[in-house]
Amino acid sequence: MPELPEVEVTRLGVNPHVEGKTVTELILRRDGLRWPFPANLRELILHQTILSTGRRGKYLLLHFHHGSLLIHLGMSGNLRIMPSTTPPQKHDHVDILLGEQMMRLTDPRRFGAVLWHDHADGALEEHLLLRHLGVEPLSDQFSPELLFKQTRQRNAAIKQVLLAGDVVVGVGNIYASESLFRAGINPKTAANRISLKRYQALAIAIREILAQAISRGGSSLKDFVGADGKTGYFQQSYFVYDRAGEPCRVCQGTIRHITQGQRSSFYCVNCQK
Ligand SMILES: [Zn+2]
């Protein structure tokens, strides 16, 4: 599943090819993916210029003068830039033609989404799918104090609070596991039992690990394809994620695997308290 770094890498990859470009055609090969496509989407964006790109959580945003297109890659989606004449394959559902090049959305499992937010409907941040999102982990709003304050009433395990996305957004399973390891926090620890000092270590770990993943070109999706057609998958060396039974790279203890909220967690009992 593409996590925040993959979406940001995708945005960085497509941005030079789409920013300032005008939509010359929109081809939808289905009625929708996870949700129906907006019925009048072609009329909305045809002959309109993409002013800039953005991202909120795992939503990639294309900003037009009158609204924004929200694209979610779901479980298996990817966006690529290619010549507009490239014949579609089975899972190529959406083509946004920009003259001689196009941006193509491929999504085998079809959990992705393409939605429109019109400026007439208010601020984009208030969109139904965006308004409940926590702060961006790489923004100035994200801080140890925020983690501390927002968890005082939360007795759920810290790993699940991170995954819930309402405090901080985009820290998915891999990055939550790795960040908690780096901060020395057991994933089962109740969020409201963690001190400000320990949240300082966690906030730094989250920022560093996400920034590192973005700089390496994304990591978590095996069939992630880069915007230029090259693979964007980077085989990272994890400390705990997916390493059940293997020795901890720090203390040589055995990495444990537990299930929390139907998601796998990996941690070291020695290094994480
Ligand atoms: Zn260890």
pLDDT digits (tens, 9 = 90+) for 31-40: 999 999 999 9
Query: 252: CA distance to ligand 1 center in Å?
Result: 6
The rounded percent of the chain whose pLDDT value lies above 70 is: 93
119 marked ligand binding residue: no
- Sole residue written with tokens 């081809």: 27
The residues, any chain, with a CB within 8 Å of residue 196's CB and separated by 6 or more, are: 144, 145, 148
pTM of the model: 0.89
Is 149 among the residues known to form the active site?
Answer: no
Distance separating alpha carbons of residues 242 and 257, to the nearest angstrom: 8
Residue range 104-155, pLDDT digits in tens? 999 999 999 999 999 999 999 999 999 999 999 999 999 999 999 999 999 9
Name the residue among 145, 136, 214, 220 with its Cα closest to residue 177: 220
Query: 198: CA distance to ligand 1 center in Å?
Result: 17
